[in-house]
């Protein structure tokens, strides 16, 4: 193993203006810290995270997903700042890669570029269009001279657009020598890791700047940056799927989770949201559908349909205002305004407008099993548990509360009555 990895995540994250710690803020429904951990474990198996604020909460989230992570604690009162975070750290490998918990967009490839052992001190830098509060990088020929924190920078230094990404790959022995020399004599009275550069230079070490992408290495400090990071992640994801052959209409209006998968030829209309481990195969998802954790094969869904979790829908037409949950549907049509929950419906069956599976009795959920070639008339209620066998006709407006055998007609409605001239008798 070439590098030990340390992820800094002990800061208060005050700019988020939230009780929830910064690194647990979510991007595409996943805590920010998990993105960088995933990349870290691809490169090293000595991965540590420094925590302090809401340590237990963050530790749980980390260990639930990456149980091999080593957790360290920073004393923010005694040793505040990014160098204070390294106080109790002992790397195993010859090189230490330091990352921040608030950088969810970094790619594995870029980290590999940084752990270049030809140099004792690599610093990731980028040219920013809007350098905001990033630490400014002062270069001297090919080497990096120093990093000045925005708060401490002069007017001239603030005009520099070269920024410190906050990611460093340092020879571990060198790091251990320098750390005790860092002081807190600055505007924020914090121990700045960025001061390690100046100190290493004083030891004659050449600081190697590694140019990286500004957006990939963005630090997410507030809710605006959180939304930007999510947007960038969405752009990446949709670009990937479009390259795989998926059609997205007005892609900037579409949201997909990182775990969503497409196969074959799919077409996704505007304003669609697809979440969780959904799988869409050779299907059309029309405008304004919401799909959660469901599988859709050779079907057309929507517009305005809601697939809640655990549906498996094959060769079917699901129209507008149809809600499905835990429904196994095969070759069916449900054109409009239905609730199909906890059910299995087999091929050739037509679900009329307004059909409802009454799956909940107030305590438990029950199943509706519906066979092949069933015609369910509009506005029928199926009181689960219920079983409707093949080739059945359910008359419109029926309340199905018992098993219906193969080939039967089921009808239960109040008999209709017409009382002639009733209106005139009542009101005159």
The entry of ligand UD1, Ca ion, none that residue 318 binds, CB within 5 to 8 Å by partner kind: none
The entry of Ca ion, ligand UD1, none that residue 209 binds, CB within 5 to 8 Å by partner kind: none
Over its C-alpha atoms, the chain yields an Rg (Å, rounded) of 30
Residues 66-105 touching Ca ion, rule: CB under 5 A, are 102
Q: Which is nearer to ligand UD1, 100 or 305 (CB)?
A: 100
Instruction: Tell whether 360 is in a known binding site.
Output: yes
Q: Which is nearer to ligand UD1, 185 or 252 (CB)?
A: 185
Residue of the chain from 3, 5, 6, 10 that contacts ligand UD1 (CB under 6 A): 10
Decide: residue 85, CB within 10 A, 0-12 exposed, 13-18 middle, 19+ buried.
buried
**Residue 219 sits in the site that holds Ca ion (CB under 5 A):** yes
H helix count then E strand count, the chain: 8, 34
Min dist CB 71 to ligand UD1, Å, is 12
Set 208, 249, 306, 336: catalytic member = 336
CA distance 90 to 347: 63
Q: Would you tell me how many other CB atoms lie within 10 Å of the CB of residue 198?
A: 18
Secondary structure string (H, E, C) spanning 44-77: CCCEEEEEECEHHHHHHHHHHHCCCCEEEECCCC
**Residue 49 sits in the site that holds ligand UD1 (CB under 6 A):** no
Q: Which residue has the tokens 């960025």?
A: 194
Instruction: Tell whether 308 is in a known binding site.
Output: yes
Residues 87-126 touching ligand UD1, rule: CB under 6 A, are 100-102
The entry of Ca ion, ligand UD1, none that residue 251 binds, CB within 5 to 8 Å by partner kind: none
Beta bridge partners of 383: 358
Longest Cα pair distance anywhere in the chain, in angstroms?
A: 108
3-state secondary structure of 43: helix
Give the containing element (helix H, strand E) for 231: helix 223-243
Instruction: Tell whether 15 is in a known binding site.
Output: no
Q: Which is nearer to Ca ion, 150 or 375 (CB)?
A: 150
Min dist CB 45 to ligand UD1, Å, is 22
Q: Which is nearer to ligand UD1, 135 or 251 (CB)?
A: 135
Nearest residue (beta carbon) to Ca ion: 219
What string of DSSP letters covers 302-367? -SS-EE-SS-EEES-EEEEEEEEEEEEEES-EEEEEEEEEEEEE-TT-EE-TT-EEE-B-SS-B--
Per-residue binder mask for ligand UD1 (CB under 6 A), 185-204, x = binder: -------xxx----------
Instruction: Tell whether 164 is in a known binding site.
Output: yes
Min dist CB 162 to ligand UD1, Å, is 10
Q: Are 321 and 339 in contact (CB under 8 A)?
A: no
The entry of ligand UD1, Ca ion, none that residue 234 binds, CB within 5 to 8 Å by partner kind: none
Q: Which two tokens stand for residue 97?
A: 């890669």
Q: Which is nearer to ligand UD1, 226 or 388 (CB)?
A: 226
3-state secondary structure of 23: helix
The entry of ligand UD1, Ca ion, none that residue 358 binds, CB within 5 to 8 Å by partner kind: none
Beta bridge partners of 27: 30
The entry of Ca ion, ligand UD1, none that residue 21 binds, CB within 5 to 8 Å by partner kind: none
- Residues in CB range of 45: below 8 A, 6 or more apart: 1, 68
Residue of the chain from 27, 40, 147, 301 that contacts ligand UD1 (CB under 6 A): 147
**Residue 9 sits in the site that holds ligand UD1 (CB under 6 A):** yes
Beta bridge partners of 185: none
Peptide bond before residue 150 is cis, with ω within 30 degrees of 0 = no
- Binding segment for ligand UD1 (CB under 6 A), chosen from 54-62, 78-86, 267-275, 358-366, is 78-86
Is 336 part of the annotated catalytic residue set?
yes
Name the site residues for Ca ion (rule: CB under 5 A).
102, 219, 221
Task: List interacting residues with ligand UD1 (CB under 6 A).
Answer: 8-11, 50, 74, 76, 80-82, 84-85, 100-102, 134-135, 147, 149, 163-166, 192-194, 219, 221
Provide the annotated active-site residues: 336
């Amino acid at each position: 193993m070439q590098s030990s990895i340390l992820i800094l995540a002990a800061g208060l994250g005050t700019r988020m203006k939230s009780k929830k710690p910064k690194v647990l803020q979510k991007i595409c429904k996943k805590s920010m810290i998990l993105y960088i951990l995933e990349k870290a474990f691809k490169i090293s198996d000595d991965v540590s995270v420094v925590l302090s604020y809401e340590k237990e909460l963050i530790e749980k989230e980390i260990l639930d997903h990456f149980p091999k992570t080593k957790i360290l604690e920073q004393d923010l009162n005694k040793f505040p700042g990014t160098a204070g975070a390294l106080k109790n750290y002992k790397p195993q490998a010859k090189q230490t890669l330091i990352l921040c918990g608030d950088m969810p967009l970094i790619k594995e490839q870029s980290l590999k570029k940084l752990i270049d052992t030809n140099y004792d001190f690599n610093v990731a830098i980028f040219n920013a269009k809007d350098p905001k509060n990033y630490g400014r990088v002062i270069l001297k020929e090919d080497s990096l001279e120093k990093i000045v924190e925005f708060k401490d920078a002069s007017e001239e230094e603030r005009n520099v657009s070269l920024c410190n990404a906050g990611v460093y790959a340092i020879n571990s022995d060198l790091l251990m020598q320098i750390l005790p020399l860092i002081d807190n004599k600055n505007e924020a009275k914090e121990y700045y890791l960025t001061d390690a550069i100046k100190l290493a230079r004083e030891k004659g070490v050449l600081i190697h700047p590694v140019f990286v992408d500004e957006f990939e290495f963005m630090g997410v400090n507030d809710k605006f940056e959180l939304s930007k990071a999510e947007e960038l992640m969405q752009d990446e994801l949709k670009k990937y799927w479009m390259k795989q052959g998926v059609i997205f209409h007005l892609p900037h209006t579409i949201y997909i989770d990182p775990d969503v998968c497409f196969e074959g030829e799919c077409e996704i209309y505007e304003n669609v949201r697809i979440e969780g481990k959904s799988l869409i195969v050779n299907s059309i998802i029309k405008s304004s559908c919401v799909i959660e954790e469901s599988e859709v094969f050779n079907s057309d869904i929507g517009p305005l349909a809601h697939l809640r979790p655990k549906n498996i829908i094959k060769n079917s037409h699901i129209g507008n205002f149809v809600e499905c949950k835990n429904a196994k549907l095969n070759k069916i049509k449900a054109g409009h305004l239905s609730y199909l929950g906890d059910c299995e419906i087999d091929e050739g069956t037509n679900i009329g407008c307004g059909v409802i599976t009454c799956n909940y009795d107030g305590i438990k959920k029950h199943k509706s099993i519906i066979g092949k070639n069933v015609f369910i008339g509009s506005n029928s209620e199926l009181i689960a548990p219920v079983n409707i066998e093949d080739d059945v006709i359910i008359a419109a407006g029926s309340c199905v509360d018992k098993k219906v055998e193969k080939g039967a007609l089921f009808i239960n409605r109040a008999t209709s009555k017409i009382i002639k001239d009733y209106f005139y008798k009542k009101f005159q």
